[in-house]
Amino acid sequence: MNIKIVCLFMASLAFLIQSCSEPVKTDLTQTAFIPKPVSVTATGTAFEVNNSTIIYVQNGAEELMKTAEILAAKIGKATEKITIQPVQEAPSKGIYIAVEASDELGAEGYELTIDKKLITIKGTDPAGCFYGVQTFLQTLPANLASGEAIYVPTGTIRDYPVYAYRGMMLDVSRHFFPKEDVKKVIDMLAAYKINIFHLHLSDDQGWRIEIKSWPKLTEIGGSTQVGGGEGGYYTQEDYKEIVQYAMDRSITIVPEIDMPGHTNAALASYAELNCDGKARDHYTGTEVGFSSLCTDKEITYEFIDDVVRELAEITPGPYFHIGGDESLSTKHDDYVYFVNRVQKIVEQYGKKVIGWDEIANAELIDNATIQFWANEKNTKLGVEKGAQVIMSPARYAYLDMQYDSTTHLGLHWAAYIEVDRGYNWDPAKLVEGITQENIKGIEAPLWAETITNLDEIEYMVFPRISGYAEIGWTPAEQRDWESYKLRLAKHGKRFEKMEIDYYKSKLVPWEE
């Protein structure tokens, strides 16, 4: 065959393949971004990502290499092999990731510019670069097939978060989840620009973190869970691995040791922590409010000092959560004395205190943060005492609340939280007198009394977490349920691609 005919044949074949697949999208403003970016403008053409696309990384910006690798792994699935290359200057084509300070965008902000030949992701810091990459990934089709060229609509996105603290909490005490499950949850959160993962590491039913100076905490306290299963715990090496995995995805781990209540697992492990000197039995039920550390024994504070010291040493993030909720069997004055002392221990090890809203009844030290979950009076008191607030209202943001009366998992003591209810609230308008300047951010907790495995975590977390991510990121005046539900509908396929077993709410017109 004549070479010209071969070329002509190949070209028409390529055209046919191209025209049989989805039409090339060229309007960036039509992309279903979650969280919704602050500004998106379209320029009406498309960038082609293929095998020869190179990811260029600003030379010397070590933290960006991991982000580039995560990006390469995602698009590499579609186009096989993607090269990552450090460069001194911006290239003329390919994908370029760089840090560039910008007062206008602020912390965690980024500008993503997609031209026909070059995609530039400029973050004001490494986190901003990571979020720019996450936004870019949402411009790609949910179902990337191996070897296929991908087209990305051109334009510019300028974006930054409303709140600096955008979190999810996982209770690993009531049921224990292995570190592989925790990493999968972290992956899912990272895709939606969540930057805090709070681990509720101890409670009545289980102690889940190795403390070398108090080994029975995990030997005894970690050996069971709700319903009497075998429980489990993270070694300090496991925990460090989780911390690093999260850090590579711009997520900070907040460890919580809940006290003085919610401590039966510790009280079962060490007799001396009890006022009567007698070790408690394991507890595998789901009641609350019956346990308390002995607030007037010195050994209690030696114990806490060791726990905080060991955990602070392996926690690079700034926070240490001291719990403080539902200490119903601790006398008020004892509670206040205890919380005052424990805050000082946390401060001594260089961490900032977070506690559930009850800790507002103590004298709050500088930089303390209270996590509003139930009591507005406590929360206002905390703000009067100078604290910042994390908004986790149980009636809107608790991921263990059932979607409706037919949900087979979870509880409903605070509310049924359908996907619209979970989305339709503004942290700055929820509690009278508490406004945006008092609020550090939001967090959606998943308590695990009824949650026993990763599939169940996914079902309760998705799709509501995408809405919490948007509440934390996007200005309230740019959010509305009608627009959100149409964007969310397009994320069903993304959840499926990530093998997330999500709740297919009837309120959302999911795309098939």
List of residues contacting ligand ACM (CB under 6 A): 325-326, 356, 373
Determine the residue with CB nearest ligand ACM. Answer: 325
Least distance to ligand ACM, CB of residue 351, Å:
20
Least distance to ligand ACM, CB of residue 323, Å:
8
Q: What is the spatial distance between Cα 122 and Cα 109, in angstroms, rounded to a whole number?
A: 9
* Burial class for 64, CB neighbours closer than 10 Å (0-12, 13-18, 19+): buried
Half-sphere exposure of 71 (CA within 13 A, CB side): 33
For β-strands 110-114 and 150-159, DSSP reports them as: antiparallel
Least distance to ligand ACM, CB of residue 328, Å:
11
For β-strands 439-446 and 388-391, DSSP reports them as: parallel
Least distance to ligand ACM, CB of residue 357, Å:
8
Q: Which is nearer to ligand ACM, 190 or 265 (CB)?
A: 265
Q: What is the spatial distance between Cα 347 and Cα 254, in angstroms, rounded to a whole number?
A: 15
Among 62, 77, 56, which residue's Cα sits nearest to residue 146? 77
Q: Which is nearer to ligand ACM, 465 or 488 (CB)?
A: 465
Active site residue 80: no
Q: Which is nearer to ligand ACM, 310 or 326 (CB)?
A: 326
Q: Which residue has the tokens 């070059």?
A: 118
DSSP string, 430-451: SSTT--GGGEEEEEEEE--SS-
Q: Going by C-beta distance under 8 Å and a sequence separation of 6 or more, which residues neighbour residue 246?
A: 186, 197, 252, 253
CB 484 within 8 A of CB 423: yes
3-state helix, strand, coil in the chain (%, to 5): 35, 20, 45
Least distance to ligand ACM, CB of residue 370, Å:
11
Least distance to ligand ACM, CB of residue 325, Å:
4
Catalytic-role residue among 108, 111, 210, 326 = 326
DSSP string, 299-334: HHHHHHHHHHHHHHHT--SSEEEEE----TTS-HHH
Residues recognised as catalytic: 326
